[in-house]
Amino acid sequence: QVQLVESGGGLVQAGGSLRLSCAPSGLTVTSYGMGWFRQAPGKEREFVGAISRSYSIGYYADSVKGRFTISRDNAKNTVYLQMNSLKPEDTAVYYCAAVRPGYSTYKTAGSYAYWGQGTRVTVSS
């Protein structure tokens, strides 16, 4: 059984940083493309970024490009989302997800087979 567990969310002031972690069980992060999505209150879930299975290429939404970085620690079987220069509009529940084998459309939620339960990030102004 696959489970993705996010951690690292919390309350931070604008301009601050947080690092989210995603530690899957039942799958290895080297075998899957991994993505992060977020959902703010009253809004639809949106793509934040992803890291490809091969070559660890990062893909980012325009809204976070240059501020957020996705990385992968193969030894710890963990994917990270480093968030810098946080803004109040980054406030949301952040979800980690694993891409369906054979899919490479990282920005589409339907490309993902497994999802975590989410971790809340609140950025105060």
Task: Give 11's contacts (C-beta < 8 A, 6+ positions apart).
Answer: 122, 123, 124
Q: How confident is the model at residue 101 (pLDDT cuts 50, 70, 90)?
A: confident
Question: CA distances (Å), 79 to each of 5, 15, 44, 71, 124, in order?
Answer: 10, 23, 23, 6, 25
Burial class (CB in 10 A: 0-12, 13-18, 19+), 101: exposed
State the pLDDT at residue 61: 97
User: 79-90 pLDDT, tens per residue?
Assistant: 999 999 999 999
State the pLDDT at residue 79: 97
34 forms beta bridges with 51, 98
* SS3 assignment, position 13: strand
Average pLDDT of span 32-56? 94
Average of per-residue pLDDT values in the chain: 95
27: tokens are 């799958």
State the pLDDT at residue 54: 83
Average pLDDT of span 43-59? 93
Nearest residue to 96 (alpha-carbon basis) of 6, 1, 2:
6
Residue 11 C-beta-side C-alpha neighbours within 13 Å: 2
